[in-house]
């Protein structure tokens, strides 16, 4: 029987237990990856007694198959490409997707971080939290962004992920915490009983400390 999480909050409880060595440390900051990762991150931050913020990252999807990522964008001009896929696409198609997603990234930041200045992670230990790792492209962009923003240590935490994605991330993050890495991985949502589509308002509420 495949192990599943009740919902994103329950998955956050599991991650918090595995990350308890970071509890109550003044240098630690938890950053959720929207949308679903913020719900997991909110529980992690609360249990560890550390601040919570959000790092907006946008997946770059193949034009004819948007669910297939050829890369990702993050704040600070960070762009990560999967050359095995991007190398097969026309440059004009890549440029158009990047332009569109860069604009959406700016819009998402305005929604989730209204009135806040740019993230300054100088000298911080950053725990990046997502609700799952499929290709890992979004998480790789988040790790790159955190380093560019000055993070001293970057931990990537996700409740479930494809083994190859977790292995690839271990090469760029200082630590990867991913307790469930099924050999047969097809979709993140398969490992949650409740994997509802997360609305912007739910993300905003969690970031504001509202249940």
Mean pLDDT per 10-residue run, the chain (211 residues)? 87 98 98 96 98 93 82 83 87 94 93 87 97 90 90 98 96 97 92 96 90 60
Q: What is the pLDDT at residue 66?
A: 75
Q: What is the pLDDT at residue 2?
A: 65
Q: What is the pLDDT at residue 79?
A: 85
Tell me the CA distances in angstroms from 45 to 15, 60, 142, one per residue in order: 10, 28, 18
Residue 192, beta-bridge partner list: 5
Query: In angstroms, what is the C-alpha Rg of the chain?
Result: 16
Please give the full DSSP string across the chain, using - where no structure is assigned: ----BSSHHHHHHHHHHHTGGGTT-TTEEEEEPTTHHHHHHHHHHHHHT--EEE---EEEEETTEEEEEEEEEETTTEEEE-HHHHTTS-HHHHHHHHHHHHHHHHHHHHHHSTT------TT-EEEEE-S-BSS-HHHHHHHHHHHHTT-SEEEEE-SBB-HHHHHHHHTTSSEEE-SB--SS---GGGGBS--PPPPHHHHHHHHTT--
Q: What is the pLDDT at residue 211?
A: 60
Right CATH for 8-56+117-207 from 3.20.20.70, 3.40.50.2020, 3.30.1330.120, 2.40.50.100: 3.40.50.2020
Q: What is the pLDDT at residue 70?
A: 87
CATH top-level class of 59-112: alpha beta
Q: Using alpha carbons only, give the angle 167, 171, 172 rounded to the nearest 5 degrees.
A: 120
Residues of the chain with CATH 3.40.50.2020: 8-56+117-207
Distance CA 37, CA 33 (A): 5
Residues of the chain with CATH 3.30.1310: 59-112
């Amino acid at each position: 029987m495949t192990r599943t999480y009740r919902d994103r909050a329950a998955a956050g409880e599991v991650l918090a237990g595995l990350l308890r060595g970071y509890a109550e440390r003044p240098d630690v900051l938890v950053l959720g990856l929207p949308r679903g990762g913020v719900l997991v991150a909110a529980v992690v931050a609360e249990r560890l007694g550390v601040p919570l913020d959000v790092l907006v990252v946008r997946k770059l999807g193949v034009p004819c198959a948007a669910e297939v990522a050829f890369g990702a964008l993050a704040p600070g001009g960070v762009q990560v490409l999967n050359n095995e896929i991007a190398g097969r696409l026309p440059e004009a198609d890549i440029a158009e997707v990047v332009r569109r997603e860069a604009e959406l990234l700016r819009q998402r930041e305005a929604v989730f971080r209204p009135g806040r200045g740019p993230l300054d992670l100088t000298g911080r230990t950053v725990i990046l939290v997502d609700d799952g790792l499929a290709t890992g492209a979004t998480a790789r962009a988040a790790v790159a962004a955190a380093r560019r923003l000055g993070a001293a240590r970057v931990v990537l935490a996700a409740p479930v992920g494809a083994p190859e994605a977790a292995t690839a991330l271990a090469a760029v993050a200082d630590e990867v915490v991913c307790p469930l890495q099924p050999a047969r991985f097809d979709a993140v949502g398969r490992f949650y009983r409740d994997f509802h589509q997360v609305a912007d308002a739910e993300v905003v509420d969690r970031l504001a400390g509202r249940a």
